[in-house]
Amino acid sequence: LDEGTAEGVRAEMHFPMCMRNLHENLKRTHHLKHFGRLQYGLFLKVLGLPIEEALIFWRKSFSGHTDDQFIKRYKYNIRHSYGLEGRRANYPAKSCQQILMNDQPGPTDSHGCPYRHFSHDNLQMALLSMYSSQGLTEADLPEIMHTVRTEAYHVACTRVYEITHATQNVRKGNGIGSGETVTHPNQYAEASRALEC
Ligand code: SF4
């Protein structure tokens, strides 16, 4: 996940748009607000990021903070999300349904689902900026935006998965495997990673 390593770039290639957006905001602003940290942090945990590496990752990412500020403001919550503090619950990562329906983002937030929560203009710009290196072109936008207008956000996300994995023989209708549509960001990332194996 370190932006300076090939491994980090490759990892990001497998992320659905909600997580790419959080990752890019974190890189740009060196901060995420509470629900952004929660959405992204639990996704990374379920993806397999161990607590020790999670603490290093968040510490490096929040480069505008002193060690003391980081420990006081964020360390407890990161450990908490790994079930190491408080109730010691093993919190699952949020599903698409939860991301779409709960904790609606405000204008300065970066959590949520871009297909639902971005303006249509911003969504199209972000799709091209994030995915043109993975084969998405302007010609793909009308179909994706039509799906977004019918509020079938997970179908739009699935179509983007198909387009960006076309070089790995994923075709329209294949979805993330066996025709399945995206219902969870981790399922998207796992399906993408599995294609590399
Ligand atoms: Fe993320 Fe789900 Fe939205 Fe795709 S449909 S961007 S996985 S919340």
- pLDDT reported for residue 194: 94
- pLDDT reported for residue 90: 86
Round to whole Å and give the CA distance between 39 and 32: 10
- In tens, the pLDDT along 141-151 reads 999 999 999 99
- In tens, the pLDDT along 115-173 reads 999 999 999 999 999 999 999 999 999 999 999 999 999 999 999 999 999 999 999 99
Does residue 112's CB lie within 6 angstroms of at least one atom of ligand 1? no
Mean pLDDT over 51-68 rounds to: 94
Quick one: 86 exposed, middle or buried, by C-beta within 10 A (0-12, 13-18, 19+)?
A: exposed
- pLDDT reported for residue 113: 98
Mean per-residue pLDDT over the chain, rounded:
94
Round to whole Å and give the CA distance between 148 and 121: 12
CA of 185 to the centre of ligand 1 (A): 6
Q: Which residues of 145-163 are buried (b: 16+ CB within 10 A; e: fewer)?
A: bebbeeeebbbbbbbbbbb
Does residue 154's CB lie within 6 angstroms of at least one atom of ligand 1? yes
Which range, of 10-14, 162-166, 186-190, averages the lowest pLDDT?
10-14
Distances (CA, A) of 133 to 51, 102, 158, 184: 31, 31, 18, 23
**Contact of 37 with 110, CB cutoff 8 Å:** no
Q: Residue whose CA is closest, atom 5 of ligand 1?
A: 154
Q: Return the SS3 of 160.
A: helix
Q: Is the ipTM of this complex over 0.85?
A: yes
